[in-house]
Structure 1
Amino acid sequence: MSKTQGDEEKGIYGDSEPAVQVLPASDGDVHVDVHTKLYDGVQRNMEQRHMQMIALAGTLGTGLFLGSGKAIAHGGPAGALIAYAHVGTIVYCMLMGLGEMAVYAPISGGYIHFAERWLNPCFGFALGWQQVFSGIISLPTEIISASILISFWDTNFTVARQGGYITVLLILAASVNYLGVRWFGESEFIFSMIKISLIVGLIIAGLVVDLGGGPNHDRIGFRYWKNPGAFAEYHFTGNLGKFLGWFTDLLQAAYSYLGMEGIAIAAAEVKNPRVSVTKAIKRIFIRIFLFYIIGMLIIGMLVPYDNDQLLQSTGTAASSPFVLAFNLAGIKVLPSIINAGVLTSAFSAANSGLYGTSRQLYGLAIRGQAPKIFAKTTKTGLPIYALILPTAFMSLSYMALGAGASTALNWLSNLTSLAGFITWTVISLTYLRFKAGVEAQGIDRRQFHFASFWQPFPAYWTIFWGAIVILFNGWEVFTAGSWNASDFVVAYINLPLFAILAGGYWLVKRPKHLKPSELDFVSNIPSDEEVSYEEPPPKNIFQKIGNWLFT
Structure 2
Amino acid sequence: MSDDKRSVSPGDGSLEKDDSLEKGDSLEKGEVPHVVAGKEFHFDVHDLDMVQRRLKQRHIQMIAIAGTIGTGLFLGSGAALATAGPLGALIAYMLVGSVAYATLCSIGEMTTWAPISGTFPHFATRWVDPALGFAVGWNYFYTNAITIPTEVSAATVLLTFWDENTNHAAIYIAVICVAICAINVFGVRWFGESEFIFAIIKLSLIIALLLSGLIIDLGGGPDHDRIGFRYWKHPGAVNRAGLVSNINTDRFLAWLSVLVQASFSYQGVELVAIAASETENPRRNVAKAVRRVFWRICIFYVLGILMIGMLVAYDDADLLKSTGTAAQSPFVIAINRAGVKVFPHIINACIFTSAFSSGNSFLFCSSRILYGLALRGQAPRYLTYCTKKGLPLAAIATAGAFTFLAFMSVSSGAATVFNWFVNLTTTGGFFSWFSINLTYSRFRSGMLAQGIDPKSNSYHNRFQPWLSYWGMFWTVTFILVNGYKVFFEWSTTTFLTSYINIPIFLGLYLLYKIPKRPKFWKASEMDFYTGIPTVEETDTPPAPPRNFLERVAEAVF
TM range (shorter): over 0.9
Shift of 1:308: 2.4
Partner amino acid for 1:70? A
1:409-467 deviation line (CA, Å, top 9, x unaligned): 12122122201111111111101100000000000112111111122211111111111
Name the aligned partner's letter for residue 243 of structure 1. F
**Structure 1 residue 512: deviation in Å?**
2.0
Following superposition of structure 1 onto structure 2, how do residues 356-375 of structure 1 map, counting pairs within 5 Å? 356-375=365-384
Give the letter aligned to residue 553 of structure 2.
G
What are the equivalent positions in structure 2 for 1:151-190 lying under 5 Å apart?
151-155=160-164, 157-159=165-167, 161-190=168-197
1:461 corresponds to: 470
Corresponding residue SS for 1:42: coil
* SS, match of residue 319 in structure 2: helix
Root-mean-square deviation over aligned CA pairs? 1.9
Deviation at 1:295, TM superposition (A): 0.2
Residue 225 (structure 1) aligned to one of 227, 232, 237: 232
2:501 aligns with one of 484, 490, 494: 494
Q: Secondary structure of the equivalent of 1:283? A: helix
Q: Secondary structure of 1:243's partner?
A: helix
- Please tell me whether residue 334 in structure 1 is matched to residue 338 in structure 2: no
Contact 1:96–1:452 under 8 Å retained in 2: yes
CA distance in 1, matches of 2:263, 2:547: 42
What amino acid is the match of 1:30?
Answer: P
1:27 aligns with 2:57: no
Q: How far apart in 1 are the matches of 2:176 and 2:347? A: 19
Query: Which residue pairs with 1:471 in the alignment?
Result: 480
Unpaired stretches in structure 1, ≥5 consecutive residues: 8-20
**1:544 positional shift:** 3.9
For the 8 Å contact 1:24–1:447, the answer to whether it is kept is no
Counterpart code for 2:438 = L
Aligned match of 1:515: 522
Distance in structure 1 (CA, Å) of the matches to 2:270 and 2:57 = 17
Amino acid at match of 2:104: L
Q: Note if 1:325 corresponds to 2:334.
A: yes
SS of the aligned residue for 1:523 comes to coil
Equivalent residue number for residue 11 of structure 1: none
CA–CA separation in structure 1 for the residues paired with 2:88 and 2:8: 55
For the residue of structure 2 that corresponds to 1:304, the secondary structure is: coil
**2:187 matches 1:210:** no
Alpha-carbon offset, residue 534 of structure 1: 5.2
Q: For residue 423 of structure 1, what is the aligned residue in structure 2? A: 432
**1:108-136 Cα distance to aligned partner (Å, 9 max, x none):** 11111111111111111001111111122
TM-score, normalisation: structure 2: 0.92
2:292 to 274, 283, 286: 283
Per-residue displacement from partner, 1:157-207 (whole Å, max 9, x unpaired)? Answer: 232x22221121112111111111111011101101100110010000000
| Separation (CA, whole Å) in 2 of partners of 1:385 and 1:31 | 35
Looking at structure 2, the residues matched to 67 and 28 of structure 1 have their Cα atoms a distance apart, in angstroms, of 51
Number of residues paired by the alignment?
532
SS of the residue aligned with 1:311?
coil
Specify the alignment match of 2:15 in structure 1.
none
**Worse-superposed segment, 204-213 or 30-39:** 30-39
Alpha-carbon distance between aligned partners in 1 of 2:27 and 2:205, rounded to the nearest angstrom: 42
The alpha carbon displacement at 1:6 in A equals: 7.6
Deviation at 1:24, TM superposition (A): 5.0
Instruction: Give me the whole-angstrom Cα distance separating, in 2, the residues matched to 1:350 and 1:374.
Output: 21
Cα distance in 2 for residues equivalent to 1:130 and 1:320: 31
**Higher mean Cα deviation, 488-497 or 88-97?**
88-97
Cα separation, 2, equivalents of 1:176 and 1:187: 8
Structure 1 counterpart SS, 2:102 = helix
Tell me if 1:394 matches 2:395. Answer: no
Give how far 1:537 is off.
6.7
In structure 2, what is the equivalent of residue 116 of structure 1?
125
- Which letter does structure 2 place at the counterpart of 1:522? Y
Aligned partner (choices 473, 478, 483) of residue 490 of structure 2: 483
Runs of 4+ in 1 over 4 A off after TM superposition: 2-7, 21-24, 534-541
Q: Deviations over 1:85-127 (max 9, x none)?
A: 1111111112111111111111111111111111111111001
Deviation at 1:506, TM superposition (A): 0.6
Contact 1:111 1:427 in 2 (8 A): yes
Helix, strand or coil for the counterpart of 2:313? coil
1:98 is aligned to 107
Distance in 2 (alpha carbons) for counterparts of 1:171 and 1:279: 34
- Report the residue type matching 1:66 in the other structure: L
TM-score by length of 1: 0.93
Selected match of 1:56 from 65, 73, 89: 65
Cα distance in structure 2, aligned partners of 1:54 and 1:112: 21
Q: Does residue 1:268 correspond to 2:277, yes or no?
A: yes
| Structure 2 match to 1:446 | 455
Separation (CA, whole Å) in 1 of partners of 2:290 and 2:55: 17
Structure 2: gaps (5+ residues): 10-20
Aligned-partner Cα distance in 1 for 2:337–2:355: 26
Matches of 2:226 and 2:415, distance apart in 1? 44
